[in-house]
Amino acid sequence: MSNRFPASFSAALAGSAIALALASGAMAQTKSSALLPAREGAKTWTPPKTADGVPDISGIFTNSVVTPLERPKDLGAKEFFTAEEADAYAKKQLAVKEATGPGTYNDVHYDMAQFGLEKKQNKVAASIRTSLIVGPEGRVPALLPEAQKRQAAKAALNRGHEFDGPENRGMAERCIIWGAEGPPMLPIGYNSNLQIVQGEGYVAIMQEMIHDVRIIPTDGRPHAPSNIRELLGDSRGHWEGNTLVVDTTNFTDRNPFRGSGENLHVVERFTRTDPDTVLYQFTVDDPTTWATAWSAEVPMTKIDGPIFEYACHEGNYGMPNNLSGARADEKKLAEKK
């Protein structure tokens, strides 16, 4: 995995301002653009086309970033760092050492650094953003009362039963879907890698965690029937200039995104802004969860790959260990009585 070591962050940063400016030009074409700050000065770099004539956004990418989804509160409405501030911030983030003491992940599982899984060992796309969420707020809007109720009810149902059976564990621990798969697709702790392949009339996006592929038809067909609800939703794409726009609906309420319900609606925009970068932007809305839609953007940067098979379920020792551990604890407790 030597390919995943970082190039100079500062050097990469120079290109990012251009990428941001270009992306804002593309965003202006949609209604969601109102949610994003307008910036001037779009550059005229023309992305290559596939053999069948659509913009070529294919490749192996990481969406690993040092930028948090939500802006740290002390930064207030400051949406962008200066280049120097961004560089210093990135250095600070990448210098954070994973804990190695007894009981930590590194202690119980393995030294993450040994496998090149620590963030500082990975290629990271540069950004001058202070948060992935765009706009002056820089934070996920507050949950509506009904969403809070929904979330609380769910939590209450599981409280005290966290280890009763596999269904009480999280989707990722069950190896059904990883938390950041989305859509919207966000970086996670490690293996934030994805591969985009384009066939005529389709774009396929494979995410390393957990080997899920989103197959996005671009032939204008309607969404699947509304009673088909899926963990990754039902995606339909079309091209707007150099941008792939993907509309996803038909979610379930079993895999909430930041408290969302099954009415979650995600619009993603993929724009290749330079040979090594695809700017990934998304807007999410769910009238049963937030009062307003909100948007974020994540620069995805090319890596050499390959993407390895994350056979999660096949090697899931965590689930039986957690359940049998809980049973052992219960037995001990009963014996004490």
Partner 1 sequence: MKNWFGSSRIALLALCAVSTSVFPLAAQTSAYKPVRTADGKPDLNGIWEALSSANWDIQPHASSAGPVSSLAADFAVPPGIGIVEGNEIPYLPAALEQKKKNFANRFVDDPEIKCFLPGVPRAEYMPYPFQIVQSPKTVMFTYEYDSAVRVVNIGPPTPAPVDSWMGWSAGKWEGDTLVIDVTGQNGKTWFDRAGDFHSSSLHVVERFTPRSADTLMYEATIEDPKVFSRPWKISLPLYRHVEKNAQLLEFKCVEYAEELMYGHLRKHPKGSSEESK
Binding residues for partner 1, rule: CB under 8 A, are 50-53, 58, 161, 163-167, 174-177, 195, 197-204, 206, 210-213, 215, 217, 221, 224, 228, 230-232, 306-309, 311, 313-314, 319-320, 323-324, 326-327, 330
Which of 167, 175, 204 is CA-nearest to residue 310? Answer: 175
Of 94 and 224, CB closest to partner 1: 224
Which CB atom, from 1 or from 140, has the smaller least distance to partner 1? 1
Nearest distance in Å: CB 166, partner 1: 4
Q: Report the nearest approach of partner 1 to the CB of residue 314 (Å).
A: 5
Least Å distance between CB 75 and partner 1?
A: 38
**Residue 316 CB, nearest distance to partner 1 (Å)?**
9
Closest separation in Å from C-beta 33 to partner 1: 29
**90 vs 203, beta carbon nearer partner 1:** 203
Nearer to partner 1, 105 or 308 (CB): 308
Smaller CB distance to partner 1: residue 142 or 228?
Answer: 228
Q: How far is the CB of 226 from partner 1 (least distance, A)?
A: 14
Estimate the share of the chain in helix, then strand, then coil, as percent rounded to the nearest 5. Answer: 30, 20, 50
Give the strand order in the sheet containing 234-240. Answer: 212-217, 202-207, 193-199, 59-62, 294-302, 277-285, 265-274, 243-249, 234-240
278-287 long-range contacts, CB within 8 A, separation 24+: 278/57, 278/59, 278/61, 278/196, 279/19, 279/20, 279/22, 279/23, 280/63, 280/185, 281/23, 281/27, 281/36, 282/183, 282/184, 283/32, 283/35, 284/184, 284/257, 284/260, 286/260, 286/261, 287/263
Of the pair 74, 167, the CB lying nearest partner 1 is at 167
Specify the length of the chain in residues: 337
Query: DSSP code of 178?
Result: -
Query: Which amino acid, 207?
Result: Q
